[in-house]
Amino acid sequence: MTSQDLINAAAEQLRAAAESGVAMGPVRDIVETGSDIDVGYAIQEINTKAAIADGRRVSGRKIGITSKAVMEQVGVDQPDFGTLFVDMEYGDGVPIEAGRLLQPRAEAEVALVMEHDLDKGEHSFVDIINATAYALPSIEIVDSRIADWDIRIVDTVADNASCGLYVVGGRPVPLSAVDLRTIPMRMDVDGETVATGEGAACLGHPLNSARWLADVMCQRGTPLRAGDVLMTGSLGPMKPIAAGNAIFADFGPLGTVTTYLEAE
């Protein structure tokens, strides 16, 4: 098989795993590479285009691998990104159907909503501030179509940056009203605190994360647009969750957000 045949086969197996709810083996074993991030994005792009062709609407992007510890774990020196779709989004307090997820883990993040396009190619920190309509507290439910979370960089990138679902709070906060670098984060599962952190855990500042993504998306010919939701990356460790769990995240002045994973 050619390298393109292997890429196509990996994309097809990922779609099948998502549709069947049965996790697959590592993508790197199919494409015979363990560290080629471009191979991962080629696979991701095939499945993103397939989803759009099936009528799914893009709602924004997620940024992953924003902590040094996770970068070391997967062997890279940069974050990655995936595509968000409208059918992945849940509002504050809305229960999530457990059957939609394979191996869910929760992480608390800052979400940004864009007011203006970010299509300048290379962006400044101020460009990101000027383009942002508001911030929201959020919970990302990350998931993996790879069995036992046995992932390296090519696996997670190919698998849409291990994206599952995302939950956003209902009270928009302008950037002028909050310092995202210093906001505290506490995430509880069933009333027990399982993760803490702060805004600076995300590449030093959640807006740094957004700036990285804005530049990368321009390089790839798909700039961020007004109305896009950006999940900027976890402020603390991700934690496994299961059917019946209630997840609550408190971001101090940014507000709170909660969700519930329904019992099967």
The structure's pTM equals: 0.94
For the chain, percent of residues with pLDDT exceeding 90: 87
| pLDDT tens string 5-38 | 899 999 999 999 999 999 999 999 999 765 688 9
CB 247 within 8 A of CB 258: yes
**Other beta carbons within 10 Å of 204:** 12
**Other beta carbons within 10 Å of 96:** 22
Burial classification of residue 124, based on how many CB atoms lie within 10 Å of its CB (0-12 exposed, 13-18 middle, 19 or more buried): exposed
| pLDDT tens string 67-85 | 776 666 666 677 999 999 9
What is the phi/psi pair of residue 179, to 5°? Answer: -100, 100
pLDDT of residue 98: 84
DSSP code at position 118: B
- According to CATH, the superfamily of the domain at 3-261 is Fumarylacetoacetase-like, C-terminal domain (3.90.850.10)
Q: How far apart are CA 39 and CA 259, in angstroms?
A: 34
Domain residue ranges in the chain: 3-261
